[in-house]
């Protein structure tokens, strides 16, 4: 286990999370998570032949490891030629309450270690 929480797609290449959006479907109660990355180190230093793919997303902290198989991973490109990576959005759902509580504990540790804050988005 590690005392510093981290997130990675490829083993040994920790990613930096830019934003997190947490939602709950009012009718079903199912919670969804949208993790946004402004860049992916694993793409910039892509070496799939020497690093093992994590088979999804792995969240690691002092409690252990959470393995997530995202429902979707969207690469958003922009720039003058449309070939610059703007962000990567990784979406998944959490249905069980105990899994949600574990995810929240991870996110609190990750936020504290990386200078992030939780805030409610203002409704318009």
Q: Which domain holds residue 71?
A: 6-113
Residue at 122 is within a domain = no
Residue at 121 is within a domain = no
Residue at 35 is within a domain = yes
Residue at 123 is within a domain = no
Residue at 124 is within a domain = no
Domain at 46, CATH number = 2.40.30.220
Give me the number of domains the chain comprises. 1
Residue at 102 is within a domain = yes
Q: Which helix (H) or strand (E) holds 12?
A: none
Q: pLDDT tens-digit profile of 55-95? A: 578 999 999 999 998 998 888 889 888 888 888 899 999 99
- Nearest CA to 116 among 36, 39, 40, 57? 36
Residue at 120 is within a domain = no
Q: pLDDT tens-digit profile of 24-59? A: 999 999 999 999 999 888 876 654 444 444 557 899
């Amino acid at each position: 286990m590690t005392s510093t929480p981290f997130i990675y797609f490829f083993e040994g290449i920790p990613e930096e999370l830019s934003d997190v959006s947490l939602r709950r479907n009012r009718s079903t109660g199912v919670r969804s998570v949208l993790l946004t990355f402004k860049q992916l180190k694993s793409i910039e230093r892509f070496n799939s032949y020497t690093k093992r793919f994590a088979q999804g997303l792995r969240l690691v902290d002092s409690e252990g490891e959470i393995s997530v198989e995202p429902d979707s991973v969207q690469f958003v490109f922009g720039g003058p030629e449309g070939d610059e990576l703007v962000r990567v959005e990784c979406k998944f759902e959490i249905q069980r309450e105990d899994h949600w509580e574990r995810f929240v504990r991870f996110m609190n540790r990750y936020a504290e270690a990386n200078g992030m804050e939780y805030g409610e988005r203002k409704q318009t």
